[in-house]
Amino acid sequence: MRTRILITGLGLVLAACASPNASSGSDANTSKSSTERYFDDAALTTKVKAELVKDVGARAATEVSVTTERGVVQLAGFASSRDEADRAVAAAKQVSGVQDVKDDIRIK
């Protein structure tokens, strides 16, 4: 089941990468409709989740939820160590289009 979810998520990432509307900057975000912003944020969430899987591993990535609003990504959930949490934040920050990252990851 997790594999199916992962494959679906990665498919969404590829679709988002192929999108011709890859504009950035605050002016572009203010002129977009709420529907466009929703899809941009959904695409960013998917890209960040895929990056987490790549950088911290699938098991650790399932412990962290990712939400995005207007390019600001919030990571919440649990990590095994501060190093793992820091790697998750760093991975999210390197995704193109992410404006800022809020770290709400707790150490278990």
Mean pLDDT per 10-residue run, the chain (108 residues)?
54 49 49 89 97 95 96 97 96 97 97
- Give the residue from 87, 85, 52 showing the smallest Cα distance to 68: 52
Looking at residue 3, what is its pLDDT? 53
Looking at residue 32, what is its pLDDT? 81
Query: Mean pLDDT, the chain, as a whole number?
Result: 83
Q: Where are the domains of the chain?
A: 2-107
Percent of the chain scoring above 70 in pLDDT: 72
For the chain, how long is the longest CA-to-CA vector? 41
Euclidean distance between CA atoms 73 and 92, whole angstroms: 8
Q: Which two tokens stand for residue 83?
A: 């190093």
1 Cβ contact partners less than 8 Å away, ≥ 6 residues apart = none
Residue 27: burial class (beta carbons within 10 Å; 0-12, 13-18, 19+): exposed
Is residue 72 helix, strand or coil?
Answer: strand
What are 74-89's pLDDT values in tens digits? 999 999 999 999 999 9
Euclidean distance between CA atoms 83 and 54, whole angstroms: 15
Q: Which two tokens stand for residue 79?
A: 């990590």
Looking at residue 30, what is its pLDDT? 59
